[in-house]
Amino acid sequence: MLLAALALNVSAANPLASAFQRHHAGRAIHALFPTLLPAEVYAIDDGSADISIGLSNGGDMISLNSFTVLPGAETITSVSIAWGSPSDPDPSLDGLPYLAVIWSDPDGDGDPADAHVLGTASGVISSQGTDTFVVTDLARTIPGSTFFVGLMVNQVVGQFPVGFDKANPLFNRSYVAGAELGHGHGDIYDLTNNNLPVLTIEYYGLFGNWTIRADATFSSPFRLLGAVSQMDQGEVGPQNIDLPLSGPAGIECRSGIPGERPGTYKWVFSFSEPVVSIDDAEVSCGHVQRREIDPAYPYQVILYTTNRQCSEQYVTATLLGVHSATETLPSAAATMGLLVGDVDADGVVTRNDTNQVKDLRGQTAFYVNFRADVTGNGVINQNDLSAVNVHNGDRLPPR
């Protein structure tokens, strides 16, 4: 259950808890005056977290804010989150993994009960308790008039990870959901399918807004925003490995999609405008199986490739002739380092990868541990351990 910030309006059964309530009941906390924000930033906080909130019983906490799209700023570039609160710093928060999420609002009513995940990106909490906004790159174009930006974080009893601004609250704009410890994992793909189904923060007697923001860019020409290697693993929905368009390549450690041809991978390319058609596709190692424009979100193109003999290589997939309604990209490409068994993504399969799988054996896969589910069946077990051992010593070449 959630325990919240102000003890004033919180019942004993409230599943939300706050560090303020535990340690500073009755102490006044003065918020900073609202700061001027650039127009391209979506924000409903004033830059300062008055308290921090967590699940009183621990588990997966999901927090999200709703926003109305600004004309010309439909393309989100990143999600920014301020963790914890200066009034109750907690060093144990730094280093916790989290998942940043952008959802669309299919019916445009501002209620996330039917929210559709547009994209996710993983990160690690840092600078807790300092009102520092940690930026997670996540680029998606919003297809409607409203959208949601938020996070999922796994926390233990006594941790209060999510910053909450109580000054000048905007009502019915901040929501919470989650799965308490012992109730499975949080479901970001169906926010109503949680032990704590999605509700407004006001439902729990709290008045304020999460310190969660979205950054956007004005005037975004037709371009590739990002790419991921995506795989459904068990009952918790797709798990993504980011494939950065620049810098070090993302490392795909899983052996392929269960139920498909051996060594099959699903590439998801996200564009700034809806894609109308694609001329062709190619892959530097392996074979292209099929390609399609996502019917539910035409800003994305899905490409399936077979790369069974391509482990220990950098594999580049290229879409050729990508057309929007008004423009054409000659090509759009992403690269992944394919190294089956490289759970820790350091470019070589070692005893450390084996030990990680051993430590997680018996767990179901979710956003924190899914890389250890090497076979992709949703459960970390002996089969994953065997897959890592088979590839022990494998490594990616210098790049």
pLDDT at 396 over 50: yes
Q: How confident is the model at residue 39 (pLDDT cuts 50, 70, 90)?
A: very low
| Average pLDDT for the chain | 90
> Measured between alpha carbons, how far is 182 from 176 in angstroms, rounded to an integer?
18
Domain ranges of the chain: 3-217, 221-399
pLDDT in tens, 82-131: 999 999 999 999 999 999 999 999 999 999 999 999 999 999 999 999 99
Q: Whole-prediction pTM value?
A: 0.88
pLDDT at 371 over 70: yes
pLDDT for the residue 252: 98
CATH 2.160.20.70, domain 221-399, yes or no: no
pLDDT at 376 over 50: yes
Task: Tell me the residue ranges of DSSP E strands in 146-247.
Answer: 146-155, 162-165, 174-180, 196-200, 209-210, 212-217, 224-232, 238-242
91: three-class secondary structure by DSSP: helix
Q: Are 285 and 373 in contact (CB under 8 A)?
A: no
pLDDT in tens, 162-178: 999 999 999 999 999 99
Q: State what percent of residues in the chain have pLDDT above 70.
A: 90
> How far out from the chain centre does Cα 35 lie?
27
> Measured between alpha carbons, how far is 344 from 372 in angstroms, rounded to an integer?
9
